[in-house]
Amino acid sequence: MPNSPIFEVLSETPEWIGIAKPSGQSIDAVKDFLKKAYPEQKFACVYQLENAIAGPVLFAKTLEARNTLKNAYGSYQFSFIFDGWGVSEKTLSEPWDCDLSIAWDERKNRAFPSKKHGKKSLTHFEILSAIHPFYRFSAQTTYLRTQQLQIHTHFSHLDILGDPLAPTTLPVTNLQLIMRSVSFPSSTLSIPLPASWDTLPQTL
């Protein structure tokens, strides 16, 4: 596969396979990798992860596993934990929840908060460390919607570094948000954080 990216296999069972998706790569690129690496096997993606976000992605290998995992996902039996860096002019310290409902704008090809048209969404935030105005935070949700983290952080007065939906003047081009782990019935998939993650603001 000389012209295709090679993705790390985090874990594999007869029912499913977990792949580490880097930032900048799409779910479709992972699907293409799997088709070439396992030409006799069919895969079904259990949840979506945006191109800009690195993290583990999960694929079912059988129809039964697909139905079981999709049902578990739809009944909030998954737990997604993100680690990110943001900037805020406010002083943030206590944990908080954001439950803005999220809708999709087909014309602009992006999500937006909407009480009237949006779908239920909830993110729990905690501040891990602070070098004001920079904050390292964790975010947890049980059901993942497109651009949920960007919207919920922004409306919590915290903008993720590198987020094109909330641009800053800082020299950051990549979204500084990583899905650190996903837990689901009987298993957890995790990826390591970059070596320089703890001291990221010092490089800006």
- Residue 108 pLDDT: 87
Residues of the chain with CATH 3.30.70: 1-75
- Residue 167 pLDDT: 67
| pLDDT per residue as tens, the chain (204 positions) | 446 689 999 999 999 999 999 999 999 999 999 999 999 999 999 999 999 999 999 999 999 999 999 999 999 999 999 999 999 999 999 999 999 999 999 888 889 999 888 999 999 999 999 988 999 999 999 999 999 999 999 999 999 999 887 767 677 778 999 999 999 998 999 999 999 899 888 877
Give domain 79-184's CATH number out of 3.30.1360.120, 3.30.2350.10, 3.30.565.10, 3.90.660.20: 3.30.2350.10
Residue owning tokens 């934990």: 81
For residue 15, how many C-alpha atoms fall within 13 Å in the half-sphere facing its CB? Answer: 11
- Residue 169 pLDDT: 67
Report in angstroms the alpha-carbon separations of 161 from 7, 32, 49, 108, 140.
25, 30, 18, 22, 18
SS3 readout for the chain: CCCCCCCEEEEECCCEEEEEECCCCCHHHHHHHHHHHCCCCCCEECCCCCCCCEEEEEEECCHHHHHHHHHHHHCCCCEEEEEEEEECCCCCCCCEEECCCEEEECCCCEEEECCCCCECCCEEEEEEEEECCEEEEEEEECCCCCCHHHHHHHCCCCEECCCCCCCCCCCCCCCCEEEEEEEECCEEEECCCCCCHHHHHHHC
- Residue 173 pLDDT: 77
- Residue 186 pLDDT: 87
Q: Which of 156, 147, 169, 52 is nearest to 98 (CA)?
A: 156
Specify the CATH class of 1-75 in words. Answer: alpha beta
Radius of gyration, CA atoms only, the chain: 17
Residues of the chain with CATH 3.30.2350.10: 79-184
